[in-house]
Structure 1
């Protein structure tokens, strides 16, 4: 833990707090990532069989877009924000000063192993913190490239890269050092462990978790567009995406049309044999592969269902579900298997959604404005889309995060800076006016207080 203590000592020098320093670190990080672009492509292909194009959309390009915003907006983010002062405190002035939290810990998962580690890092650097980075050990090729990027760019007393088995390393870190913030992306089960470890020392946390994100296709939906916009994110990264549509609830009147449209678009995206496609990924490891294959027994396969253990390949699969007690409807799928459930009325569909409260995302496809608002208001969820799926997370002006079992806190863009900052409240009162009515004795002043304090 001596290496982590060194970050505390470095932070306390105040070196990380100036605008000039923060900007320089962001620019160095951006340059290093650009320099290692090919290495990142190759590593992600090795770990998850991602194409360069998919890497750019979901990893490199996503990161570069976020860091570009931070570099451009950093000065304005750091400025104190003036707020109105109430009458009681006249003639004072009030403002909010963002200040760094201190030494933070960022823990990332394996499904987007590059950007889910480095995108939170943008916010931590921009806010003026020191950082311990813990990558997923399940994407070793990507972790090795990130190690090269971080250790060639930053002093280890400022940004420390820690590897190893997460189940061992993270508790060791959190039990032996009191961080000022912990940012974790991953499963709800592990999120509970992180939350428990942090609670011992009242350490604030951001938990970016998951859940069963429903996708509702109403009788009023544009079916061809809905199918295209559902299939693209669902089968991107072989379905290993926290905001992928976990299952479809489709109105009976458009069920057959939707299934036909999904089949057509999946074939259009990946060809007759997706295993040969350059644009279709693989499952991260044998453990996840075996877990996913079990779900193939839980319903009627409408398309796909093929798998190859030696290649960690599972075909894009559509599966009709009638028994909601099967495992596929109890767990977050996190793979290229898309359950389709028919509903006849909204109440029945809402009852199904309610079995898994507070999903990370929800998607509604409808051309009826009244209907879309009814669905959005009826279900508590982290964030989502109307007539689209998953792409809300690409807009840095929207906070990304869950609620309840799907997460705590949010980030992206300005929200990342806010997550890694403390909002210090300041009120400045001049000396040229000092009203006697503020001080005891208060005899006869109640009516004045009633006017001043509202």
Structure 2
């Protein structure tokens, strides 16, 4: 779940480490503040293979689960401080999603770690070949502010499961959550295999100057390019989870269910969700019908005064608030449009007649503003989507199997989802990631394990009998024919 880019602010410094319950030394030394030393110590740990055994990986996953269970209140309080998230939403979209990743990894860890046999051409028999997952080494995870718990811990689950050691850089724009992570992770996870580094843009810059074996970044496209350039200096592979303008194509706007699902997916976390529908394309008369249904859905969710609803959060900071308020001048406000600068809250807002050249339609909105654009046909909507950079996800609201098939065939996006925004994130077996401008690489479940592993080729062949003689020169006509048949 990427974030839009914003200037960085400072955050609380990292707290000292404490005892872990799982096979840690009796006294845990304080981690050095120096980033160079932290990363160097992690590389030293990789050399010891500390994190490689299945038992160690399983113990760390269990410890992470215990941390969430024991300190759920600490995390929900921090998320309320950072983003105004209600307790239920914080649990649903952050804590429970991480729990689901942990549970899935615990259930399948042994299976994922197994080598897989590969068939061998007849000419190379007798021999054995397999693919075996190997840890990459030291992984850097740079988290995002919009889901500051989920988007740092879900990649950590994948890194632990893959047998890596991990440096975590939580977002400084969610300082309360960052501080709780810095305090609790050293208490539950082995300090030798997981370090938390806190700070702002300069801290991220210094981290990116170090050599890692993989960098996992969630955020906006601008910073994603900076991460990719820095990683290229060390030829470090990256996973970039970015965002973009994810469209929702609605064929029939009269359905109350469609409106409720759109409102739920869009206005969750005050629209600060990378997979939220960024804009709606409504075919024919669907726009007029959808506007009426959305008004009912928004009132049903948040009441007549959404700014006072305990289930409706706030914008992360003043810079993002001011950016979003400026968008309200670029079209006709149909629903909402109110805001409170003191609380950084903006009402769930639906707009029409938007200026296609305005920032509202050029940039990812990343807030509670939903433009509705009327289009003549399904084909016109697909052309509209394809004229823009590849989105992280594209939604189609239609029960027509033919249209669903055509939508998947013609639209290129990180995911194609029918009739329900955001729900694919809750399925650990589905890969989550973008394509093109919306990111590279995918994770969740096995996909995260394999992304943060080297899928190494291993092959062996005996020398007792030299069965490769048929492949040695000189190549007579008969031997060349034999080789063709064998291979």
For normalisation by structure 1, the TM-score amounts to 0.97
The 5 A counterparts of 1:214-233 are 214-219=247-252, 223-233=255-265
User: CA separation in 2, counterparts of 1:445 and 1:13?
Assistant: 49
Give the equivalent residue in structure 2 for 1:270: 302
Instruction: Give the CA deviation at 1:433.
Output: 4.3
**Structure-to-structure mapping, 1:273-312, within 5 angstroms:** 273-312=305-344
Where does residue 102 of structure 1 map in the other structure?
Answer: 137
Match of 1:378 in 2: 410
How far 1:46 sits from its partner (Å)? 0.9
Matched, 1:445 2:479: yes
Residue matched to 2:386 = 354
Partner of 2:219: 186
Distance 1:224 1:359, change over 3 A: same
Equivalent residues of 2:354, 2:371 under 8 A apart: no
1:162 maps to which of 194, 197, 219: 197
- Taking only aligned residues, the RMSD between alpha carbons, in angstroms, comes to 1.3
Secondary structure in structure 2 of the residue aligned to 1:310: coil
Distance 1:237 1:413 in 2: 24
CA apart distance, 1:322: 4.1
Q: Which runs of 4+ in 1 moved over 6 A?
A: none
1:209 pairs with one of 235, 242, 262: 242
1:122 aligns with 2:154: no
Question: What is residue 32 of structure 1 aligned with on the other side?
Answer: 67
Cα distance in 2 for partners of 1:442, 1:179 equals 47
- Cα displacement string for residues 332-356 of structure 1 (whole angstroms, at most 9, x for unaligned residues): 0000000000001234323321332
Whether the 8 Å contact between 2:118 and 2:131 is mirrored in structure 1 is yes
Shift of 1:431: 4.2
Q: Which residue of 2 aligns with 1:80?
A: 115
Residue in 2 that maps onto 1:172: 206
Superposed CA offset, 1:283-329 (max 9, x none)? 00101000000110110000000000001010000001342111100
- Between the aligned partners of 1:384 and 1:184, the Cα distance in structure 2 is 22
How big is the shift at 1:282?
0.4
1:226 touches 1:365 (CA, 8 Å); kept in 2? yes
Q: Measure the CA separation in 1 of the matches of 2:254 and 2:179.
A: 44
Q: Is the 8 A contact 1:4 1:160 kept in 2?
A: no
Query: Which is worse superposed, 378-387 or 311-320?
Result: 378-387
Could you tell which deviates more after superposition, 139-148 or 404-413?
Answer: 139-148
Unaligned runs of at least 5 residues, structure 2? 1-35
Matches of 2:387 and 2:171, distance apart in 1: 30
Q: Separation in 2 of the partners of 1:322 and 1:312? A: 23
User: Aligned pairs, how many?
Assistant: 450
Among candidates 166, 171, 174, match of residue 139 of structure 1: 174
Q: Which segments of 5 or more consecutive residues in structure 1 lack a partner in the other structure? A: none
Q: Residue by residue, what CA displacement relative to the aligned partner does 1:153-198 show, whole Å, maximum 9, x if unpaired?
A: 2343321110111x211221121x2100000000011000100000
Partner of 1:195: 228
Deviations 1:380-410 (A, max 9, x none): 1001311111111111111000001000000
Q: Distance in 2 between matches of 1:39 and 1:394?
A: 23
| Aligned pairs (5 A) from 1:382-401 | 382-401=414-433
How much has 1:47 moved relative to structure 2? 0.8
Q: Are positions 1:150 and 2:185 aligned together?
A: yes
Decide which of 451, 454, 469 is 1:419's aligned counterpart: 451
